[in-house]
Amino acid sequence: MSEPIVLVKKHAPLGTIILNRPEKRNALSKVMIEELEQALRDLHGEKSVRAIVITGAGSAFCSGLDLAEMHAAVGEDDAFERWREDVVRLRDLFEQILRFPKPIIAAVNGPAVAGGAGLVLAADFAIASPEATFGFPEPKRGVISGICAPLLTFRVGGAHAARMLMMAETISAERAAAIGIFQEIQPHEKLWARGMEIAKEIALSADEAIQLTKRMLNETIGETLETFLSAGAAASATSRTTEAAAEGMKAFLEKRDPKWPGS
């Protein structure tokens, strides 16, 4: 039997979730999102687990939504509804992470782009290996990063967000750390161990105090996040209905430069 596409491990006080589609650079398929949501629900009930690390198998952290699944809907009568369901599902995952009562640490072992970068931003903090990269290439594929934009702005501010989103930038681990996306850079082989150290430090504090702190940050200071995430999901779904989106996704899958309509 093949391995699950989401692996869950418990080494109290740390719980570990591993995105396990290395051959697809851990792209978020519908099934993977469902299993990731279930993994979070399972660890929610584990009292011995005080913090969660999310990381990726292989050389990538997460390449975002599975573009092959997205492209499969092109030309179908229900394409918009299917795209809307995809982005709403991703929005719901981000909201689950934001509301999750235990701290979540993204251990970014490689490229984290598009929706994968959104996973990093939804986490409470992020540690990364020097090989990690971070970015939003969506405009180069004819679509927008509507769901991630509010999270990026919340974490790093409007100026950095505008540059990254409009230039479709992918930046190095060092640059991501400099603007506050990654809080630490650790050697690849030490990422999980550092996650364990952080979990042990968190376990020294009262569980209720940590939960209330997370709620204060994400639901009080970040009180508009859910509204903006919903608006971003609608904008993302609409962007996928354009001719540019169809060409961008096709070009990406065919490994060629896109030929934008009207250019």
Q: Is 138 a catalytic residue?
A: yes
Element (H, E) at 160: helix 158-166
Sign of CA dihedral 76, 62, 114, 96: positive
At 234, the amino acid letter reads A
Q: Given 138, 174, 208, 223, which residue is catalytic?
A: 138
At 177, the amino acid letter reads A
> What whole-number distance in Å separates Cα of residue 132 and Cα of residue 24?
17
Contact between residue 164 and residue 221 where contact means Cβ atoms under 8 Å apart: no
Residue 113: partners with Cβ closer than 8 Å, 6 or more residues away: 62, 63, 64, 133, 134, 135, 136, 137, 170
Element (H, E) at 14: strand 14-19
Instruction: List, by residue number, the catalytic residues.
Output: 138
